[in-house]
Structure 1
Amino acid sequence: MNADMTVVLADIGGTNTRVALGRGTSVDLTSAKSYRNADYSGIGAVLRRYLAETGARPQGCCVAVAGPVRDSAGRLTNIDWSVDREMLHEATGAETLAVLNDLQAQGHALGLIAPENLTPLLPGQPASPRSARLVVGVGTGMNAAPVYRLGDRTLVPPAEAGHATLGLRSEDELRLFHHVSRLHAGAGIEHFLSGRGFERIWNWLCSEDGVSDEKPAAEIMALMEAGDPRALRAVETFSKLLGRVCGDLALTTLPFGGIFLIGGVARHFGPHLVTHGFADGFRDKGRFSAFMDQFPVHLLTDDYAALTGCACHLSEQVDLID
C-alpha cells in the first residue's frame, strides 16, 4: 500500500461516532474527533463535517458499524442509520471504500494491539501465530467474530452471535430465561449478556427474593463491591454465563490464538470475571473441560482498536488492487 495515501476511518457506535485519519495501518490519534450521532442525519453528514474541519482529501474510507453488514452495506442496530460504499464515496470522494461490522474491525486490529492494552484473564497454552482467534464484544449488545490469517490476509467473517439462543444448564437458569422471555419474546444471548442484560439478571434475583428494586448496572456493581449478597449473585450469574458462552464459541471456532473480550461491560467486569465464575463457566464442558485450558483469554482495552482495524482492512484491500 502507498504509505502516502490518506484514509478516513470511522467507528460508529450507538451514541457517538469516532473519526480519524490514517496512513497504511496506522491511525493518527491527534486527528481523532468524536461526534454525537443525535446531531446528524447519518454517517455521510458526520464525514462531511469532519473533512470540512480537517481539510483532508482522503483516497480511502472505511467505517465500522455497530450492526449487521452484508455485501458492504450495514445498518445500525440502535439508531436509524444505514451505510454503503456509494454513500461513503459521495461523502468523502474516496475511491477505495469498505464497510465492516464493529467486531470485524476489532478482529482486523488484533495483530497491532499494544501489550499494555491486553489484560490476561486465562493463560491458555502457546499456539502458532497462524492460529484462529476470536473477538467477543459485551457492551450495549453482544456479538462475536472469529479471526483467521490466510497467507498475508486477515479474514474476519461477520456474525450476529448475540441473537443466538442462550444454552441453559440448571433450574435457576431456566427461571431466569422465563423471567426475561416474558418481557422479550425470542430473547437471545445479548438479552442476558449486555449492560441491560446484567440489569435483567439483577431484577430476576430481586423477584426470586420477593422484592422489586430496579437499578442501573453501575449501581449494582457498586453494591457488589460493597459486599451486597444479591449483587454478588448477579455478578456471579453473569460471569458464569459469559464464560459458558465464550466456551461454546471456542469449541465452535477453536481459537487457539486467543479469545479477546472487548466492550464497556467486559471492561467493568474484567477484574471480577475470573474470581466470580467465568473460568468455571468456560471449562464447564464435561469430558472436554481439560481441552478448554488450551485457549488464552484476554481483556482488550484499546479505545482505538476499531479504527486501527479499519486501517488494516483498507490496507489489505488496496494491496489487492495493487
Structure 2
Amino acid sequence: MTRLVVDIGGTNTRAALAEGQAIIDTSVRRYRNDGFDGLCSVLMRFLAEAGSPRIDGACAALAGPVQGGRGRLTNLDWSIDAADIARVTGADRVRLLNDLQAQGHALDQLAPDALIPVLDGPRAVGGVRLVIGLGTGVNVTVVHRTPAGRLVTANEAGHVSLPVASEDDLSLARFAAGEDGFAAVEDVLAGRGLATLYAWVTTRAGAPRRLEGSAIIAAAPGDPAAELALRSYTEMLGRVAGDLALHHLPYGGIYLIGGVARAMTPHLARLGLDDSFRAKGRFSGLMENFAIATITDDFAALRGCAAHLAETA
C-alpha cells in the first residue's frame, strides 16, 4: 500500500509517500506555504510531481489544534479538513494529528544518530516520554505506553502563561505581551522569541536594537547582548521544561525538536540549561532522573504519521 504523509508547519509543508511504517525518503518534498493558497494546492502539486500514485491512506500533522477531523494552523490562516484531503488524494482513510503528536509517534522510528544528548540521565524502558517542539511555534506532547498501544496526547502548551518568578521575568512578560496583554510561553521560546529577547535586553540597556534569531545565535558569545538574550532563553527553557517534567514524570526521556531546538543545542550547556532545569527546590534531586536529547531528523513528523497510519490500519 502507498500512503501519503504530510507535515504542515507555519512556514513550510513537507510531504512524502510511505509504505507500512517507513517513509520513502527519496519521495520527500518541501514547499513554502506562502506560495500556496492552502493545503489542497500543495497536495495536488506533490501528487503530480510524484507521478499521481494511488493513495490508500493519508495522515497529516499540523501545527495547530485538531478536533473532529478538522484543524486550523496557529501561525497561518489555513484550515485543514480530512474530507478535503480524501477528495484530493482519493484516500479512503485520512487521519489528522497535531504536529507534536506526530513527533511522539515517531520516537520509536528514529535512528540512534538522530539524537544529540543535551542532559545526561537514565531512560527507563517503557517510561513516559515528553516531546517539546521549539520552532515557528511551541508545543508539547506526552507519550505513554499502554496495554492497548501507544497513547500520544494532543496539547496547545505553547500558549500557557509565561512563568514569572522575579522582577526581570515580569519585565520580560510585559515586553513580550501582545496587544491583548497576554504573554505566552511561545512568545519567548518560539523562533520569534529570540528576537524579542534581544530587543528586551538592548532596550533595558538604553540602546534598543533588533536582530533576527539566527543572527543572534551567530553573534554570541562575542556580542554581550546576544549572549544575554540566549542565556535568558535557556533559563526560560529550563524552567518550562522542568515544570513539564514535574507534571508528567518523563522517566523515558525528554526530547527537543524543531529548528530553534537544533540551533540552540550546541549552546545550551554553556548557557546553564542544567541549572535552570533542575532548580526545583527540594525536588531538585528528582530532576536528575530526566535525560534530555535533541532530535535532528527533519522527517520525524512524517515518520510519525506513517507509524500512526500503520498502527490504526
Equivalent position of 1:238 in the other structure:
233
Query: Which of the numbers 177, 197, 207 marks the counterpart of 1:201?
Result: 197
Query: Which deviates more from structure 2 when the two are superposed, residues 294-303 or residues 149-158?
Result: 149-158
> Matches of 1:298 and 1:33 in 2, distance apart?
26
Equivalent position of 1:191 in the other structure:
187
Change over 3 Å in CA distance of 1:115–1:152 after alignment to 2: farther
Q: Indicate conservation of the 8 Å contact 2:20/2:306, yes or no.
A: yes
Equivalent position of 2:265 in the other structure:
270
CA deviation vs aligned residue, 1:194-253 (integer Å, no higher than 9, x gap): 11111111111111111111111122112214x222211111111011011001011111
Q: Indicate conservation of the 8 Å contact 2:177/2:187, yes or no.
A: no
Query: How far off is 1:40 after superposition?
Result: 2.3
> Matches of 2:137 and 2:128 in 1, distance apart?
24
SS in 1 for 2:189: coil
Query: How far off is 1:181 after superposition?
Result: 2.6
Q: Indicate conservation of the 8 Å contact 1:51/1:57, yes or no.
A: no
Query: How far off is 1:152 after superposition?
Result: 5.9
Q: Does 1:72 align with 2:54?
A: no
Amino acid at match of 1:272: H
Runs of 4 or more, structure 1, over 4 Å off, are none
Write out aligned runs for 1:13-52 (5 A).
Answer: 13-52=9-48
Q: Does 1:105 align with 2:67?
A: no
Amino acid at match of 1:260: Y
Query: Which of the numbers 91, 97, 102 marks the counterpart of 2:88?
Result: 91
Equivalent position of 2:210 in the other structure:
214
Equivalent position of 2:136 in the other structure:
140
Q: Does 1:314 align with 2:309?
A: yes
> Matches of 1:312 and 1:254 in 2, distance apart?
25
> Matches of 2:180 and 2:172 in 1, distance apart?
12
Query: Which of the numbers 246, 249, 254 marks the counterpart of 1:259?
Result: 254
Q: Any stretches of 5+ residues in structure 1 without a counterpart? A: none
Equivalent position of 2:284 in the other structure:
289
Query: Which of the numbers 173, 177, 197 marks the counterpart of 1:177?
Result: 173
Amino acid at match of 1:125: P
Query: Which deviates more from structure 2 when the two are superposed, residues 39-48 or residues 202-211?
Result: 39-48
SS in 2 for 1:143: strand
Query: How far off is 1:41 after superposition?
Result: 2.3
Amino acid at match of 1:188: A
Q: Does 1:159 align with 2:155?
A: yes
> Matches of 2:68 and 2:251 in 1, distance apart?
29
Query: How far off is 1:317 after superposition?
Result: 1.0
Equivalent position of 2:121 in the other structure:
124
Q: Indicate conservation of the 8 Å contact 2:130/2:141, yes or no.
A: yes
SS in 1 for 2:26: strand
Query: How far off is 1:84 after superposition?
Result: 2.0
Q: Indicate conservation of the 8 Å contact 2:174/2:183, yes or no.
A: no
Q: TM-score, normalised by structure 1?
A: 0.93
Query: How far off is 1:255 after superposition?
Result: 0.8
CA deviation vs aligned residue, 1:74-104 (integer Å, no higher than 9, x gap): 1112222111221111011111210011111
Amino acid at match of 1:239: T
Equivalent position of 2:145 in the other structure:
149
Change over 3 Å in CA distance of 1:254–1:264 after alignment to 2: same
Query: How far off is 1:42 after superposition?
Result: 1.6
CA deviation vs aligned residue, 1:182-201 (integer Å, no higher than 9, x gap): 75621100111111111111
Amino acid at match of 2:142: P
CA deviation vs aligned residue, 1:128-181 (integer Å, no higher than 9, x gap): x21110110111111111011123622111101010012122221121112223
Q: TM-score, normalised by structure 2?
A: 0.96
Q: Indicate conservation of the 8 Å contact 1:67/1:77, yes or no.
A: yes
Amino acid at match of 1:124: G
SS in 1 for 2:241: helix
Amino acid at match of 2:274: A
Q: Indicate conservation of the 8 Å contact 1:7/1:58, yes or no.
A: yes
Amino acid at match of 1:253: H
Q: Indicate conservation of the 8 Å contact 1:45/1:91, yes or no.
A: no
Q: Any stretches of 5+ residues in structure 2 without a counterpart? A: none
SS in 1 for 2:107: helix
Q: Indicate conservation of the 8 Å contact 1:20/1:29, yes or no.
A: yes
> Matches of 1:175 and 1:81 in 2, distance apart?
34
Q: Indicate conservation of the 8 Å contact 1:147/1:154, yes or no.
A: yes
Task: Count matched residues.
Answer: 312
Change over 3 Å in CA distance of 1:185–1:249 after alignment to 2: same
Q: Indicate conservation of the 8 Å contact 2:5/2:15, yes or no.
A: yes
RMSD: 1.4
